[in-house]
Structure 1
Amino acid sequence: MSGLQSAANIPELRKRIIFTLLMLAVYRMGVQIPTPGINGEALASFFEQNASTLFGMFNMFSGGALENFSIFALGIMPYISASIIIQLLTVVIPQLETMKKEGEAGRRKITQYTRYGTVALSIIQGTFIAVGLEGMAGPGGEAIVLDPGIQFKLMTMLTLTSGTAFIMWLGEQMTERGIGNGISLIIFAGIVARGPAAIINSIQLVKAGEIAIFFVPFLVIFMLGVVATIVFFETSQRRIPIQYAKRVVGRKVYGGQSSHLPLKINVAGVIPPIFASSIMMFPATIGSFIQIDWVQRASAALSPGTVWYYVIFVAMVVFFCFFYTAIQFKPDDVAENLKKNGGFIPGIRPGRRTAEFIDKVLTRITVVGAIYLSVICVLPTVLISQFNIPFYFGGTALLIVVGVGIDTISQIESHLVMRNYEGFMKQGRIKGRS
């Protein structure tokens, strides 16, 4: 509480926090504004039946906007997809890689390309959603689209694209003028906003006798344990000692100091479970539309709760952990920068030997990070499917909520420490994920 009071005493930090809260309020207001021409009750019934498909996942990240088919129905997912595509292209296209190394000017250009990609993906997704909605029907056979036709398609595409562009602008404004990462906070708000409804649903299940009341304390302890595990791994680092050689320039001596190179246990963040979840939900999504015998059998075999689902899901999480870490972290570039600045790892020769050592250490901690991500994402799914436990913040959602919370608190702490205030923790400091 003293940390919160200190944050309120700093005018700049107070303005940033208030601005962030206002922007999140604007976002949540937009989630409640429906797109015209939709039968809301029929669409809600459809999403209730397809909660375990891709629709359920996108609805979770949009904070229920897709279920309501609001003007923010696409959420921020097109922006995330465009960002990932641009990052992957920097490995393939040398011009983008050069641009990435040009500093602030290059980052602005890449951000501009990301915005263009977001709008293009929103147009494509909005068009496909509009066409798909016209062919859908509720559980009772009622039409979801009240007045299908070219006008509905065009209006829906423009509305959804404009909504995503507005959310993207909100996120950038929050990052620049608020506190924390705006895009991450929007996803965070969307997931957390559904928490109260999930708690009420759990209470109703206890009252109805579907969940034994003596099991509730175990569920609470388990959730706290999962959160503590995520906090531990997300803030854990493998620190490689770095020594800088002394350099004499004129009458001044530079270097000669010790430092360290921090390597995160989970370099890839939440990208591997997001990719793996999206791919693993495709069979269930296809099975909900195609009523063919072998398609239905394949969809059932790869549904959450089956052995094949867990095996393939864990394999894909491990693969994407190594793949995305290889894209994000370049041992050769780090070794080259250390060599240019007169830095070296004690006992390791600069250059190629240093790059090999860093790559070896990174591979080992990535194995630990992949196991950690797999356990965190699979355990809630096992509880839900095998024991009928309503573990709402499961897997990827819980990783995002806790990770964004750590980042935001660490940024607030840095503002407090810069102004000689104590942070939220009396002893030690909260380490951010970046």
Structure 2
Amino acid sequence: MTIDFEPENEDEVASIIRAAAERSARLAILGGGTRGFGIAGADAVLSTRRLSGIVTYNPAEMTMSALAGTSVAEIEATLAERPQMLAFEPMDPRALLGSTGEPTIGGVFAANVSGPRRLSAGAARDHLLGIRFVNGEGVAIKSGGRVMKNVTGLDLVKFLAGSHGTLGLLTEVTFKVLPLPPSAATIVLSGLNDAEAAGAMARVMAMPYEVSSAAHLPESVRGRFLGGNLPEGPATVLRLEGLSATVSARAEKLAQACSVAGPVTVLGDEDTRMLWREIRDVKPYADGTDRPIWNVSVAPTTGHQLVAALRLETGVDAFYDWQGGRVWLRMEADPEAGLLRRFIKALGGGHARLVRASASVRAATPVFEPEAPAVAALSQRLREKFDPQGIFNPGLMG
């Protein structure tokens, strides 16, 4: 992949985009280049990775502003000194996708990258307070600030988060951070099938133990976590975080409550932190292949039904995050986009995003779930407003 433009400030970004708009040249917008979506059909590639640096950090107010190309590693290292964190736990996709580069904070918010703690802390966009971006006409725009608010009746912060660079190029982001939990533990409930695990996680999330994350790792993937050292059998895993004394007390009570459903093991702090990093980064499918990977969001009670239906029709492996509401699917051969999306619709709706596939498959398969007509009409009006020439990330518009 060749980078054609690497601007070092917002003025340079605006100038490049204005010139592209004048000649209707289509631009692929990249952060650190770790995901690579949006390249197909582009006339040039524009990277934000030289738009780098922390602008302000106020630990007392738990807010930070950074240029969009600032690496997530730099931000997390700075926060760890306080100690604070990005509570939405963005994944590092490099092992899964076989990519290089450095994940950037602008890329994280542009893709709304949210990890296992989304159950308790919310998605990336829920932590975004303000943005600066350049639209498809080369005009720099500021929205939001250090407090949550709408601007002129339109919440541009929420629209840009998760837009994957199709509405504008983020140049600066302001976001809230949270204290880093000093202690963590994981309850491992062994032996449940997918349906039983969905029911168990639903019951646990209704209990007063402040579970921050809940996932289910079927036997097909269980051995690929923690170096194969999880207990035998499918693992339903429940994370607790906080002060050491409270975590210990809650873990004891939750383990007792779960023991009626099957064997229970408690993981300590170090193993807990490693396990949830591996869940976050989809470690079982970081296998060096380009077999299709889907990130599916559905109701927590229907994730296991979706997987069961797919297994009757095609080869698929899966594990569950977000209490079963996020399903990571690895297809054995064909991506089966039509089949997958038909089943999602039949089960009440949801969203499927193609995360990994060969170049030929990605060229022939829509990356995102087709939008409902009303939503599609709104999306089109937004793109016409912010990118009237349609120059941004053409590879995502198919």
Q: TM-score band, normalised by the shorter chain?
A: under 0.3
TM-score, reference length from structure 1? 0.25
Q: Which has the higher helix share?
A: 1
What is the TM-score when the length of structure 2 is the normalising length? Answer: 0.27
Question: Which structure would you say has the larger Rg?
Answer: 1
- Structure with the higher fraction of residues in strand conformation: 2
